[in-house]
Amino acid sequence: MIKQEKMTITCQREIAASIYELTLEGQLVDQMVEPGQFVHLRVSEGIDPLLRRPISISKIHSDRQAFTMIYRAEGKGTQLLSEKQIGDKVDVLGPLGHGFPIEKNMKGKKALLVGGGIGVPPLYELSHRLLEGDMDVVHVLGFQNESSAFYIDQFSQLGDTYAASVDGTVGTKGFVTNILDQLKFDFDVLYACGPTPMLKALEERFRDKRAYLSLEQRMGCGIGACFACVCAVKDDPEQSAYRKVCSDGPVFPIGEVVL
């Protein structure tokens, strides 16, 4: 169920250049079920900025009613968020949307998790869940450069982890697809989150595989009421079918929607 709560910051730190890890505590956490869901944050009590900001849930700490997000402080809203301190409250609406499906009876099977930039965070909770189901996980993570890279160590503790960076300062030089094309992993299911060009590249390669992609879109309400975040359904002859990224997604089976 979707709840709105003023949650308390228990930890906020810069873990890479302009990348912050933020932990919030509150009862809303009890509602969080799926990896890949997101929250919609109001970072100011006033009108500056006006709209909420969608941020993925990166790790759920059910035991202590807390969750962690990882975000890049870029525009006005995320900048303001990054200035908040331990003990401050943040107005959270969530959990929202449908996350990555964890299929049953996948014990021993192999999952490939591909993340790019600020698409990496939701994969972290996902990876934990898959491990709980005794799956094998491999992570391929892409970043701009070393200074903006994060969580490579954390992912390494969960499974094989490969990194790529545009300038080669960390991992392979290039994109995640360079790694994928080189190492040609074998996998039973693919999960990915990242910039649209990355998702398109994955779709080209793996459209016939079992795979799930998490999308981004500019949002208004975040709950399915305003039709801001709509994407078209593939292979729809009438061109009228649609999905809402906020409430039907953000995760869709590969090939379901037009990227």
Partner 1 sequence: MNRLGIELPGLKLKNPIMPASGCFGFGREFSQLYDLSKLGAIMIKATTLTSRFGNPTPRVAETSGGMLNAIGLQNPGLKKVMDEELPWLEQYDVPIIANVAGSMTEDYVEVAKQISTAPNVHALELNISCPNVKTGGIAFGTAPEIAKELTSRVKEVSSAPVYVKLSPNVANIVEMAQAVEEGGADGLTMINTLLGMRLDLKTGRPILANKSGGLSGPAIKPVSIRMIYEVSQKVGIPIIGMGGVQTAQDVIEYFYAGASAVAVGTANFVDPFICPSIIDELPSLLDEIGVNHISDLTGRSWKTDDQKAYHRA
Ligand X SMILES: Cc1cc2nc3c(=O)[nH]c(=O)nc-3n(C[C@H](O)[C@H](O)[C@H](O)COP(=O)(O)OP(=O)(O)OC[C@H]3O[C@@H](n4cnc5c(N)ncnc54)[C@H](O)[C@@H]3O)c2cc1C
Known binding site for FAD: residues? 53-56, 70-72, 77-78
Could you tell me the smallest distance in angstroms from the CB atom of residue 244 to ligand FMN? Answer: 13
- The stretch among 13-21, 44-52, 165-173, 248-256 that binds partner 1 (CB under 8 A) is 44-52
DSSP secondary structure string for all residues of the chain: --EEEEEEEEEEEEEETTEEEEEEESGGGGG--STT-EEEEE--SSSSS-S-EEEE--EEEGGGTEEEEEEE--SHHHHHHHT--TT-EEEEEEEESB-----SS-TT-EEEEEEEGGGSHHHHHHHHHHHHTT-EEEEEEEESSGGG---HHHHHTTSEEEEEETTSSSSEES-HHHHHHHH----SEEEEES-HHHHHHHHHHHTTS-EEEE-----SSSSSSS-SSEEEBTT-TTS--EEETTTT-BEEETTSB--
Which of 12, 16, 24, 56 contacts ligand X by CB under 6 A? 56
105: partner contacted, choices partner 1, ligand X, a second copy, none (Cβ within 5-8 A by kind)? none
Question: Based on CB atoms, which residue is closest to a second copy, 42 or 139?
Answer: 42
Does 184 engage in binding with ligand X (CB under 6 A)? no
Does 225 engage in binding with ligand FMN (CB under 6 A)? no
Could you tell me the smallest distance in angstroms from the CB atom of residue 121 to ligand X? Answer: 4
- The stretch among 106-114, 139-147, 202-210, 217-225 that binds partner 1 (CB under 8 A) is 217-225
Residues that bind ligand FES (CB under 6 A): 219-222, 224-229, 244, 246
Which positions touch ligand X (CB under 6 A)?
38, 49, 51, 53-56, 69-72, 74-78, 118, 121, 216-219, 250
